[in-house]
């Protein structure tokens, strides 16, 4: 989605497109096109997942993936929020970069746009 955001952010301002809904429809179409071009099989036991953001939602979503057989590398700014996942077998690392280096697929579940920027852009 970040790729789609990068490609279409100027479209919103240059075309007068003011609706966030229209923007996200365009971004979703671009993302689907991008994903189809670079698709891969995602298989429990083979695909390493990374998880950034292990708060109220992220912790449970990651745990469901682990229960399905995926190995997980996780990061949260508040390390105590990773503890339950560590006990369940996840590898806890100290930065989003380390998550990416040890994962085939990375999920981000963070609260606010500023958090997304911090995680993705540093």
CATH number at residue 101: 3.40.50.720
Rounded Cα distance between 68 and 55, Å, is 20
Report field, pTM of the whole predicted structure over 0.75? no
User: Two tokens at 18?
Assistant: 């003011």
Is 81 within a domain?
Answer: yes
What secondary structure letter does DSSP report for 90?
A: P
CB-neighbour burial class of residue 58 (10 A; exposed 0-12, middle 13-18, buried 19+): buried
Residue with tokens 């996942």: 85
Q: What is the pLDDT along the chain (122 residues), one digit of tens a residue?
A: 333 334 334 444 444 444 454 444 444 555 555 555 556 677 888 889 999 999 989 999 999 999 999 999 999 999 999 999 999 999 999 999 999 999 998 999 888 888 888 887 87
Domain that holds residue 99: 48-121
Is 94 within a domain?
Answer: yes
């Amino acid at each position: 989605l970040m790729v789609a955001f990068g490609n279409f952010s100027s479209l919103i301002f240059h075309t007068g497109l003011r609706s966030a809904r229209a923007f996200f429809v365009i971004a979703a179409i671009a993302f689907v096109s991008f994903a189809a071009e670079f698709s891969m099989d995602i298989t429990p036991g083979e695909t390493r997942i990374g998880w950034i953001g292990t708060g109220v939602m992220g912790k449970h979503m990651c745990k469901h993936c682990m229960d399905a057989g995926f190995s997980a590398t996780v990061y949260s700014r508040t390390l105590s929020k990773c503890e339950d996942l560590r006990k369940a077998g996840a590898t806890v690392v100290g930065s989003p970069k380390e998550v990416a280096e040890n994962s085939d697929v990375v999920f981000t579940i963070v609260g606010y746009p500023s958090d997304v920027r911090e995680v993705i852009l540093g």
